[in-house]
A and B are shown apart, each in its own frame.
Chain A
Amino acid sequence: MSAGQALDPSLGPSPERGGEPRVDRVLEQVRAQLDLDAETEYELLAELRGHLEDAVAAARARGLDEEAALAEAAARFGVDEVGRELQAAHVGWGTADGVVAAGMPVLCALILRWLVFAPDGTAVGWREVLVRPAFWAVALAALLVPLLRFPRWRYALISWAFFWVMSVIFFALPAVRW
């Protein structure tokens, strides 16, 4: 492979790239149709790479040379249609996750506000919430909903971190008026 054919690392991981440089060109055509977040595109292209490498290997095992094997694999794959369909299938997923990821901590914080604060705006008596079932219900929801809802851990971690930082602050500074 020449320097001019340097592979784009964002086209997904491939320990066997040295043998399949042209697969990258097919993936580039798919990627040209995508307008998704980087992580989603990376995963999609990694999955498609595995498919194309298998298809090329199968064609070569039937006696085709590399060029013909790739041409056959790409034709059977349906590059343009796949790019469009993947875009249609995934567009909006990240946005929906983002909305929930942003809304979840706010909802938990509002419930905490209702549970924790005295009418004067302080968190005095905060320790009492530890024996309230409602507190543990909120805590469990804050733990489990992100875990079950988000395919990506970073969203879950953001929700968890927000909830527990709020809890620690209330616990450490109960007399402060919030």
Chain B
Amino acid sequence: MVSQIDQMRKGTTTVAILKLLVDEEEPLHGYEIIRRLDARGEGYFRFKEGLVYPRLHRMERDGLLESRWVGAPGTRRRKMYAVTERGRHQLEVEMERWQTFSRQMDQLLGLEGA
């Protein structure tokens, strides 16, 4: 059975990836994205690492990310991801939504000022 935390994480992975890439201000490959997300979440949001890749690919298809392969043929090559303008705009929208949701939940649960 999928836990509530898993459900919440799935719903927030896109915004977490966008925020990370915007904050880091440099293109990152998948492994590094996972490593830094894990560090930011202090291990709380740990998930199957490979599941980040389908998400990255969907975000790229949706125009939120762009990617390029780095490294010469015959050497280890990396697919690096960066945020597009559309991705930055989407992040702003999602952050606003999240803040509203969070504020309303706090109010609902009586956690305001806690």
Contacts and interface: CB of A to CB of B under 8 A. Distances in A.
Nearest to A75: B48
Contacts of A81: 48, 50-51
A155 interface: no
A77 B77 CA distance: 20
Nearest to B30: A51
B57 A78 contact: no
Contacts of A93: 61
B88 interface: no
A4 B57 CA distance: 34
Interface size class on chain B is: 20 to 34
B76 A14 contact: yes
A50 B75 contact: no
A112 to B, nearest CB: 30
B48 A47 contact: no
A85 B74 contact: no
Contacts of A78: 48-51
B51 A50 contact: no
A82 B61 contact: no
A53 B71 CA distance: 16
B36 to A, nearest CB: 13
Given A47-B30, A54-B31, A90-B57, A85 B77 contact: no
27 contacts: A13-B73, A13-B74, A14-B76, A15-B74, A15-B76, A30-B50, A43-B79, A44-B53, A46-B79, A47-B30, A47-B79, A50-B30, A50-B77, A50-B78, A51-B30, A51-B31, A51-B49, A54-B31, A55-B31, A55-B49, A77-B49, A79-B50, A81-B51, A85-B51, A86-B53, A89-B58, A90-B57
Interface of A: 13-16, 30, 43-44, 46-48, 50-51, 53-55, 76-79, 81-82, 85-86, 88-90, 93
